[in-house]
Homo-oligomer: A and B are copies of this chain.
């Protein structure tokens, strides 16, 4: 094995099995073991030489997701893309969830930060968020994939390192800084995800019209006066960038009705 394999160590509990614990749907209890994933030692000089590589497989999966969406990333498609048999992929990643994790960290390698922190942590944080937004727009599957992401890989950690440096002037404790980064990332992912969904709906005139009619009907039923008024006075339409900046300003500077 290429090294991700678990040594199956002292698993003293005999009947471990799956615990049927209430959990959030896609995110199961087990998850991916970060040690086996990211900390594997350099590998063996024996046995058959690998025909593929974890990086090549990951890159193929990313290309597929970029071009056709996350749903197109099946083990069969990825294998076909690199000319491998399906089961060969399992030499390089123990399961599909791990492959997803590899994909996320792979694209995170694009998040290179050249400028050091300026000392104005609010401005720096906004710059980070804009970087993340552009990144997610480039890989529209990222917001959805991030929902189940567990442990940061090396590229993600490098970016986190930068964010922590940015937050140094705040003097906050470690937990608070980590928390802020997680919140910021989650917020950007949520916003961009919404942005992408909106764009997808707009691209389908039928659905866009159906949604508009539905909301109009609800607003007209008399039981939703606030909604009716909100829809009637929508305000000036803004570009997605402007909306994002306003949203970012709210988060970092606070919800301020003066905008």
Contact = CB atoms under 8 A, between A and B. Distances in A.
Contacts of A191: 20, 183, 186
Interface stretch (A50-58, A65-73, A84-92): A65-73
Interface string A127-163: 0000000000000111111011011000001001100
B257 A69 contact: no
Given A38-B214, A179-B243, A247-B179, A226 B194 contact: no
Interface in A229-245: 229-238, 243
Contacts of A254: 252-256
Interface residues of A, number: 106
Given A23-B196, A68-B22, A235-B174, A144 B147 contact: yes
28 contacts: A20-B67, A21-B147, A21-B193, A22-B66, A22-B68, A23-B69, A23-B200, A24-B143, A24-B193, A24-B197, A26-B71, A27-B193, A27-B196, A27-B197, A30-B204, A34-B214, A38-B214, A39-B217, A122-B255, A161-B224, A173-B236, A174-B230, A174-B231, A175-B230, A175-B237, A183-B250, A187-B187, A251-B255
